[in-house]
């Protein structure tokens, strides 16, 4: 007769904490991109498989002679997903601010709540796609002044992260590694410092790892270190099976979050046996 386990507090098996980013309370900690999919259909299925409730979107010049006729908005249910417009491709603060205003304008027309916020990205160089910290800071300041909730893409520099929080960024979003590189979180130490510094006074200040994720374990690591969420695009869109990878990301993020909440064991240089060391039947000279 087996003793039945005492009942588990089921709330501990799921992460019930809400993920508040500026005006929005998100049920998923995964924010997914809409770029680089082989088709709008695959994108749509990936969003569904990821169980995300927020997807990023870019602002570009309208192609005035598009024969295709299909528009991405026909494949995103704007009643279901909060759109997060980005300023991707901007290399100076002025252009990024203009881009943010235009994104907001379109989302207001669409009646999508995403008009409230923006993913600010101001790049410094096209080969690394690393952010330009000075232009990013200037643009962030201006957008905060214009009452945007600014989710700010930045490098993994703790000091820069502090500066962005100080000038009113709603969320700081350090890159794990360069955009689209798939290298994962390269500098665990810096990310840990960023999390500690940004959350020292307010545990709920959202830090989202944005860029560099290659596979589900990368997303899990970001979450285990204590990030509040992960924003990714290429790792799913560029995978051989994007829909499957989207699901893997969902699990990776949930696993990482639970592991963070549970609290990992400290790392140790030497082994610690799991089975008792007394009563072993073999007589072995202790070394």
Partner 1 sequence: MTDNFIQVEINGQPRQIAANLTVEALLKQIELSTPAVAVEVNLELIPREKHPSTLVQNGDQLEIVSLVGGG
Please report, as ranges, the residues that interact with partner 1 according to CB under 8 A: 33-37, 43, 56-66, 68-73, 83, 85-86, 88, 98, 101-103, 105-106, 108-110, 179-180, 211, 231-234
Instruction: Closer to partner 1 by CB, 36 or 251: give it.
Output: 36
CA distances from 3 to 6, 7, 24, 239 (A): 9, 12, 45, 46
**Of the listed 63, 119, 254, 286, which one is catalytic?**
119
Looking at the Cβ atoms of 158 and 213, the one nearer to partner 1 is 213
> Tokens 């690393």 correspond to what residue?
130
Rounded Cα–Cα distance for residues 24 and 18 (Å): 10
Active site residue 119: yes
Gap between the Cα atoms of 139 and 277, Å rounded: 61
CA dihedral 53, 56, 57, 58 (to 10 degrees): 170
Nearer to partner 1, 34 or 171 (CB): 34
* DSSP structure class, residue 12: G
* Minimum gap (Å) between residue 146 Cβ and partner 1: 11
Least separation, in Å, of the C-beta of 22 and partner 1?
19
Q: Pick between residue 13 and residue 64 the one whose CB is nearest to partner 1.
A: 64
Minimum distance, C-beta of residue 225 to partner 1, in the bound complex (Å): 21
Helix (H, G, I), strand (E, B), or coil: what is residue 86? strand
Residue 237, both tokens: 């869109």
Beta carbon of residue 101, minimum distance to partner 1 (angstroms, whole number): 5
Catalytic residues: 119
């Amino acid at each position: 007769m087996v003793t039945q386990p005492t009942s588990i507090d089921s709330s501990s098996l799921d992460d019930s904490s809400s993920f508040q980013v500026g005006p929005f309370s998100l049920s998923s900690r995964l924010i997914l991109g809409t770029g680089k999919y082989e088709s709008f259909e695959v994108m749509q299925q990936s969003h569904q498989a990821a169980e995300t409730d927020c997807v990023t979107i870019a602002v570009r010049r309208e192609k005035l002679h598009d024969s295709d006729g299909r528009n991405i908005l026909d494949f995103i249910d704007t009643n279901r997903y909060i759109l997060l417009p980005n300023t991707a491709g901007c290399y100076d603060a002025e252009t990024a601010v203009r881009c943010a205003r235009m994104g907001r304008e379109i989302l207001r027309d669409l009646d999508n709540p995403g008009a409230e916020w923006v993913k600010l990205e101001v790049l410094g160089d096209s080969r690394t796609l690393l952010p330009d910290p000075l232009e990013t800071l200037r643009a962030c300041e201006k957008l905060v002044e214009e009452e945007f909730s600014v989710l700010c893409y930045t490098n993994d520099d703790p000091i820069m992260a502090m500066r962005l929080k100080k000038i009113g960024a709603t969320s700081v979003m350090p890159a794990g590694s360069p955009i689209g590189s798939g290298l994962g979180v390269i500098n665990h130490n810096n990310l840990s410092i960023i999390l500690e510094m940004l959350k020292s006074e307010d545990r709920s200040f959202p830090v989202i790892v944005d860029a560099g994720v290659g596979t589900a374990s990368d997303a899990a690591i970001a979450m285990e270190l204590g990030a509040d969420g992960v924003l990714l695009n290429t790792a799913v869109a560029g995978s051989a099976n994007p829909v499957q990878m989207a699901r893997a990301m969902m699990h990776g993020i949930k696993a990482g979050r639970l592991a963070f909440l549970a609290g990992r064991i400290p790392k140790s240089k030497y082994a610690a046996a799991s089975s008792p060391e007394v009563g072993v039947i073999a007589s072995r000279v202790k070394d």
